[in-house]
Structure 1
Amino acid sequence: MNQDIKINKAEPEAYATVVALLRAAGLPTEDLKRDLEHFWIADATGTAIGVIGMDLYAPYGLLRSMTVLPEYRNKGIASRLVDQVELLAKKLDLSELYLITNTAESYFSKKGFQLITKADLPASVASSEEMNGLCPASAVIMRKTITQ
């Protein structure tokens, strides 16, 4: 089944689809850029079943908006989406990836992300909308060093 899932670069025409997936997962969409430049969609025979994105704050990236529909979870799709962002981070020569999460701390720990505090964030990432009210204050912040 996982072989039938394709990970495709999100096109601007998929904006409404991406917003619907994110809203269904309770994730913020207010600051989502319409060009979806650094976003990917997991596709199961023409149906969008997952999404991931990254906001760029070079030399850093902010992993954001990762979700997979519940009926497709635990099939390695999220891992493929995260791998896609990490590949792009390497290609763009980024040094670190950051994220903020309410529910996926243990998942991202397994992917090599480590807990940090807001004080540990570089100023550019700390000033993002994600870090300033779009995500709840109870959320945890994590970082992963990108090795080239």
Structure 2
Amino acid sequence: MAIRELLASSGLPVDDLDTSAIEWWVADREGELAGVVGLERHGQAGLLRSLAVNDRIRGGGLGRRLVERIELHARAQGLSQLVLLTQTASDFFSRLGYERVERQTIPAAVRDSAQFRSICPASAACMRKYLSGFEGS
């Protein structure tokens, strides 16, 4: 699977891809997977998963466009917030309006996900963005 290969080559976890309910958005360039991002729904919150862009085209804005697309979809689905864990991209997500928060402030349904329970280490930054029209935005 091309998604699994891109995530693995980007140093992102792939352990739960077959067991988690993740919606994927992909971008391709000339028939090759250029980028991917996932959304895992947990009640009124979404867990932004596995944003990765092919090394050869990083820096061109594709990651930002993928995040914008998933945010539009999340709003349309009635989600109030997006949450993510990252070890390397907190500056990137800060520029897109995500704020670092303590893990215990995240909805329990999200904290019960495999990402929070076991896959991402406790040292990963926890970030949240309230989507427009919802409390905290």
Q: Do the structures match in fold with TM over 0.5?
A: yes
Query: Which structure 2 residues correspond to residues 46-65 of structure 1 after superposition, within 5 A?
Result: 46-65=31-50
Paired letter, 2:98: F
Paired letter, 1:20: E
Deviations 1:14-48 (A, max 9, x none): xx111111111111111114797521111001000
Contact kept, 8 Å, 2:27 with 2:33, in 1: the verdict is yes
Paired letter, 1:126: R
- 1:137 alignment partner in structure 2: 122
CA distance in 2 between partners of 1:43 and 1:92 (Å): 24
Paired letter, 2:107: P
- 2:107 alignment partner in structure 1: 122
Structure 2 unpaired stretches of 5+: none
Moved over 3 A (4+): 33-37
Give the length in aligned residue pairs.
133
Query: Which structure 2 residues correspond to residues 1-148 of structure 1 after superposition, within 5 A?
Result: 16-33=1-18, 38-148=23-133
Structure 1 unpaired stretches of 5+: 1-15
Task: Check 1:59–1:36 CA distance in 2 against 1; reply closer, same or farther (3 A cut).
Answer: closer
Paired letter, 2:86: T
CA distance in 1 between partners of 2:6 and 2:29 (Å): 14
CA distance in 1 between partners of 2:42 and 2:18 (Å): 14
Identity of aligned residues (%): 38
Computed over aligned residues only, the root mean square deviation of the Cα atoms, in angstroms, reads: 1.5
1:58 Cα offset (Å): 2.1
Contact kept, 8 Å, 2:12 with 2:50, in 1: the verdict is yes
Paired letter, 2:26: I
Deviates more, 1:36-45 or 1:61-70: 36-45
CA distance in 1 between partners of 2:55 and 2:19 (Å): 25
CA distance in 1 between partners of 2:92 and 2:67 (Å): 11
TM-score when normalising by structure 2: 0.92
TM-score when normalising by structure 1: 0.85
